[in-house]
């Protein structure tokens, strides 16, 4: 049953991020890497809701262009031939990932969209996980590889395979290439994150955003003198992990231009439709309208290397999401899918003028369960190769315990 006239919660004034001033902007394009992943929710979030036992991830990367002509890739998606990752990484995919489909490699996507991969001067990896690192060998050796703190000294990561038989990475990612680890200090922060001014002109900041994986970093690109895109990587994996908050409460009525599944939810969408499955629904509507749906899981098998630190990073991310001049785009946010102009059909630079933040904020609600029923079929039924299910690789079966349903 729907309750009419839900309370409109007044948003609290957002904390100041102390965003530095500059007139130098980047051209920022968001790329669908065609990496579609199905994961058990229990590895990412708590509690696990009945009907939302799986998270489906689309995977974004970014192409950035500096006024000097320098071109940067922020993340690369998954390599199309993911069976050619190091044995460690391919075995991890086989053991841990119920569904994966990669239609195109990042090189194909860029070339098709009119970007010459030979012009890329920098690759930034938000972190070392396979759905972000792609295949760096497709890019010229002159392209510097930027990684976060602790990457280069971690023996799981460097050197790569086959030099180190147990490495998660490949020698071919690093061969002949400068790999630079960003150093951070408390001397320069944006919001509550340590920051590095990459070009020294205020156009692009790399932020230290730890907790998910060794050396996890995010990017903050200036899209106009006053606006920014926050390229979150995997600071978290779902819109409901950092929304709603006291700064961005769930509105009484979800705005009409949010691309929600009208067939499923009806033409008007009071927020009670969505707070009905909120883990804190019994603590009152206001609590449910101002608290993210999920926390980082602390269970064994968590994809977060340091769950409390990851939660702390998410809390800091919420400050950015609260600021109307920052458009937060985490890599796996499906809420962006039907809203923004994807590469090569435009850039994100006009995101504020075009209202893309407001339109995409609540898109994650689409994938929440209703009455314990899932939103839809999973992206793919198993590990896919060239569009076909590869049965012999699909050994992954979730036990009830693995599903971890607690609510
Ligand atoms: Zn990821």
| HEC string for the chain | CCCCCCCCCCCCCCCCCCCCCCCCCCEEEEEECCEEEEEEHHHCEECECCCCCEEEECCEEEEEECCCCCEEEECCCCCCCHHHCCHHHHHHHHHHCCEEEECCCHHHHHHHCCCCHHHEEEEECCCCCHHHHCCHHHCCCCCEEEECCCCCCCCCCCCCECCCCCCCCEHHHHCCCCEEECCCCCCCEECCEEEEECCCCCCEEEEECCCCCCCCEEEEEEEECCEEEEEEECCCCCHHHCCCCCCCCCCCECCCCCCCCHHHHCCCCECHHHHCCCCCHHHCHHHHHHCCCCEECCCCCCCCCCHHHHHHHHHHHHHHHHCCCEEEEECCCHHHCCCCCCCCCCCCCCCCCCCHHHHHCCHHHHHCCECCECCCCCCCCCEEECCEECHHHCCCCCCHHHHCECC
Predicted confidence at residue 391, as pLDDT, reads 67
Instruction: Compute the distance from residue 266 Cα to the ligand 1 centre, in Å.
Output: 32
- β-bridge mates for residue 373, sequence order: 370
Cβ-Cβ contacts under 8 Å for 287 (sequence gap 6 or more) = 280
The rounded Å distance from CA 57 to ligand 1 centre is 8
Distance 131 CA to ligand 1 centre (A): 5
pLDDT of residue 2: 45
The alpha carbon of 378 and the centre of ligand 1 are apart by a number of angstroms equal to 17
Give the pLDDT score at 405.
Answer: 46
Between 268 and 250, where is the model more confident?
Answer: 250
Distance 50 CA to ligand 1 centre (A): 23
13 C-alpha to ligand 1 centroid (Å):
31
Pairing of strands 326-330, 54-57: unpaired
Contact status, residue 55 vs residue 70, Cβ threshold 8 Å:
no
pTM of the model: 0.94
Residues 290, 244: contact at Cβ < 8 Å?
yes
Residue 342 has pLDDT above 70, yes or no: yes
Mean pLDDT of 266-286: 92
Name the band, by pLDDT with cuts 50, 70 and 90, for residue 392: low
Cα–Cα distance measured from residue 356 to residue 341, given in angstroms and rounded to the nearest whole number: 9
| Residue 10 burial by Cβ neighbours in a 10 Å radius (0-12, 13-18, 19+) | exposed
What is the pLDDT at residue 262?
87
- Mean pLDDT of all residues belonging to the chain: 93
Q: Is there a contact between 150 and 172 (Cβ–Cβ < 8 Å)?
A: no
Residue 159 has pLDDT above 90, yes or no: yes
Task: Specify the range with the lowest mean pLDDT, choosing from 13-17, 149-153, 310-314, 379-383.
Answer: 379-383
Per-residue pLDDT band at 299 (split at 50, 70, 90): confident
Cα of 75 vs centre of ligand 1, distance in Å, is: 10
**pLDDT band at 1, cuts 50/70/90?**
very low
pLDDT value at residue 393: 61
Query: What band does 301 get if pLDDT is binned at 50, 70 and 90?
Result: confident
- In terms of pLDDT, which residue wins out, 394 or 52? 52
Radius of gyration of the chain (CA): 20
Q: Looking at 32-36, 242-246, 331-335, 392-396, which range is the least confident one?
A: 392-396
CA of 253 to the centre of ligand 1 (A): 31
Ligand 1 centre from 277 Cα, in Å?
Answer: 25
pLDDT of residue 268: 82
**Residue 5: pLDDT above 60?**
no
């Amino acid at each position: 049953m729907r309750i009419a006239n839900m309370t409109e919660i007044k948003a609290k004034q957002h904390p100041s991020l102390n965003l530095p001033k500059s007139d130098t902007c980047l051209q920022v394009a968001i790329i669908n890497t065609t990496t579609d992943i199905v994961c058990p929710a229990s590895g990412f979030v708590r509690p696990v809701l009945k009907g939302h036992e799986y998270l489906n991830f689309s995977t974004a990367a970014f192409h950035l262009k500096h006024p000097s002509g320098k071109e940067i890739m922020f993340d690369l998606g998954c390599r199309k031939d993911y069976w050619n990752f190091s044995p460690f990484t391919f075995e991890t995919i086989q053991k841990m990932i119920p569904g994966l489909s990669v239609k195109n490699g990042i090189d194909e996507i860029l070339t098709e969209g009119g970007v010459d991969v030979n012009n890329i001067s920098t690759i930034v990896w938000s972190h070392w996980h396979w759905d972000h690192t792609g295949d760096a060998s497709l890019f010229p050796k002159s392209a510097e590889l930027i990684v976060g703190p602790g990457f280069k000294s971690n023996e799981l990561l460097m050197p790569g395979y086959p030099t180190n038989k147990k490495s998660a990475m490949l020698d071919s990612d690093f061969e002949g290439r400068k790999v630079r680890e960003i150093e951070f200090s408390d001397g320069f922060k944006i919001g509550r994150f340590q920051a590095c001014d990459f070009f020294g002109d205020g156009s692009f900041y790399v932020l230290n955003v730890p907790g998910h994986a060794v050396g996890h970093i995010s990017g903050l690109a200036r899209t106009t003198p006053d606006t920014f895109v926050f390229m979150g990587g995997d600071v978290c994996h779902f819109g409901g992990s950092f929304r709603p908050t006291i700064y961005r409460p769930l509105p009484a009525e979800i705005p009409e231009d949010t691309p929600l599944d009208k067939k499923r939810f009806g033409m008007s969408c009071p927020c009670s439709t969505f707070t009905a499955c909120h883990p804190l629904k019994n603590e009152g509507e206001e609590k449910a309208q101002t608290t993210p749906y999920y926390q980082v899981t602390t269970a064994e098998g968590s994809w977060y290397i340091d769950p409390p630190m990851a939660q702390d990073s998410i809390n800091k991310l919420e400050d950015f999401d609260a600021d109307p001049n920052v458009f937060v785009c985490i890599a796996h946010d499906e809420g962006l899918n039907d809203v923004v102009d994807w590469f090569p059909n435009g850039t994100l630079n006009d995101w504020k003028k075009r209202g893309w933040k407001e339109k995409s904020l609540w898109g994650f609600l689409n994938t929440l369960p209703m009455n314990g029923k899932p939103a839809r079929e999973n992206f793919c039924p198993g590990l896919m190769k060239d569009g076909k299910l590869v049965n012999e690789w699909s050994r992954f079966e979730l036990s009830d315990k693995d599903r971890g349903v607690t609510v």
